[in-house]
Amino acid sequence: MIDFQELAEKYKTPLYVYDFEYMKQQYQMLKSAFKARKSLLAYAVKANSNLSVIQQFASLGGGADCVSIGEVRRALLAGIEPYKIIFSGVGKQDDEITEAISSDILYINAESMAELERIELLARNMNKPCRISVRVNPNIDPKTHPYISTGLSANKFGVDINTAKRMYIFAKNSSYLEPVGIHFHIGSQLTDLEPITEAAIIVADLVRSLHVIDIDIKFFDAGGGLGVVYDQENTISPHDYAQAVLSALKGLDVTVVCEPGRFLTANAGYFVTKVLYEKVNEQKRFIIVDGAMNDLLRPSLYGAFHMVSTVGGKGEKSRADVVGPVCESGDFLAKDCMLPPLKHNQLLVIHSAGAYGFGMGSNYNTRPRSAEVAVQGDVNWLIRRRETFEDLIVLEKDYLRS
């Protein structure tokens, strides 16, 4: 049990707390689900890019799925071996591509023909061949929130099967491109196995047809997307997920890659905030806390549900909205939540905040971002200090006109 009271006294609030033991268990559970094959779990750094979090997965043997050169640098700094790093993203810039090539990462995941041609040109200029994969968009409805579905042809990600084939042929014909991987990622927070199964079959068939024309794919990358429980969702078990991918691969000699983000970190994380005030407008009860949408954007952006619990607190519960101090009506952490009477300074814990929490935060309303803390068994330690006002103005203050 994490002692949130003690952590809040030691590190102040608002505060992100991550259970490193839980992350390790999730990693090992997924890794062992793939044990029938060679596999690489490339942690999707965007889910929680704190260096110490990445380091935790590095120490377990994990790789990294990165979507900017900044994420690649973070992964390297945190100790992920270059040959376990994948660089994806729909719009890679020249300097990002050249840096990725010189860093000798596992492969660059190309998201369009134009991008592949650019990678070829840059590799040629550097006189250094580049390993690539192609992101295939299998045009499958992942049945998740529209903002986080990516595998339909209406989405900006990847290319259709025919374009993918042309890209592989282009790569094969260039001495500066080495096509080693194939990739798809149909969406995030997936709770239905069928779309993953379908996508894996479509993409595995493409691997077979590439084999016929002498293009040998070594890495079959099924992306991320495994859903987690925020409320009462029926999620996919790691075993069933792995089986869905593995059974599509019969007869193929490939290493399976997957890019879990949320599955590894979401339920390892808690956002701890304290009650400032309580007020009732007409009939509506509001709990005003020191955390806000700039700290945890998911409720405001997606209407996402995050469970709220109280530290202490007895008495009859009633419905309340948990809101922050930011000047937006959309600034809430929870709506219509059953809460007991609360005192000034009492703590609320927002659950499932370890993925897409801190990373999507901002300094809106000139609010310094929270500290981040790791917990493992009985020990806890700071992994990012709280920002100060000085941190927020440091890039501007020298430009004031005298």
DSSP 359: G
The one catalytic residue in 130, 258, 327, 337 is 327
Within 106-135, the residues that bind ligand LLP by CB under 6 A are none
Among 63, 138, 181, 261, indicate the residue that binds ligand LLP (CB under 6 A).
261
Among 34, 50, 65, 291, indicate the residue that binds ligand LLP (CB under 6 A).
65
Whole-number Å distance between alpha carbons of 298 and 17? 17
Question: With respect to ligand LLP, which residue has the nearer C-beta, 88 or 273?
Answer: 88
Q: Least distance (Å) from ligand LLP to the CB of residue 74?
A: 15
The answer for residues whose C-beta is within 8 angstroms of residue 82's C-beta and 6 or more apart is 76, 103, 104, 105, 106
Whole-number Å distance between alpha carbons of 192 and 195? 7
184 binds ligand LLP (CB under 6 A): no
44 binds ligand LLP (CB under 6 A): yes
Q: Least distance (Å) from ligand LLP to the CB of residue 47?
A: 5
Q: 3-class DSSP state for residue 346? A: coil
Size of the site for ligand LLP (CB under 6 A): 20
181 binds ligand LLP (CB under 6 A): no
Output the CA angle 13-54-94, nearest 5 degrees.
110
Q: 3-class DSSP state for residue 98? A: helix
Binding mask 204-223 for ligand LLP (x = CB under 6 A): -------------------x
Token reading at 58: 């590095």
185 binds ligand LLP (CB under 6 A): yes
269 binds ligand LLP (CB under 6 A): no
Q: Which residues pair with 384 in a beta bridge?
A: 372
Strands (E), 170-234: 177-183, 219-221
Among 50, 55, 56, 88, indicate the residue that binds ligand LLP (CB under 6 A).
88
148 binds ligand LLP (CB under 6 A): yes
- Using the structure block, give the residue that is written with the tokens 């006294």: 9
299 binds ligand LLP (CB under 6 A): no
Question: With respect to ligand LLP, which residue has the nearer C-beta, 324 or 361?
Answer: 361
Whole-number Å distance between alpha carbons of 75 and 111? 21
Q: Least distance (Å) from ligand LLP to the CB of residue 119?
A: 17
User: Is the torsion defined by CA of 66, 71, 74, 76 positive or negative?
Assistant: positive
Helix H or strand E encompassing 389 = helix 389-393
66 is catalytic: no
Within 227-256, the residues that bind ligand LLP by CB under 6 A are none
225 binds ligand LLP (CB under 6 A): yes
87 binds ligand LLP (CB under 6 A): no
Whole-number Å distance between alpha carbons of 338 and 249? 47
Nearest to 140 by CA among 33, 223, 211: 223
Written as one letter, the residue type at 330 is: G
CB-CB contact of 109 with 134 (8 Å): yes
263 binds ligand LLP (CB under 6 A): yes
Question: With respect to ligand LLP, which residue has the nearer C-beta, 225 or 346?
Answer: 225
Within 309-368, the residues that bind ligand LLP by CB under 6 A are 355-356
Q: Which residues are catalytic?
A: 327
Site residues (CB under 6 A) for ligand LLP? 44, 47, 65, 88, 148, 185, 188-189, 223-226, 259-263, 298, 355-356
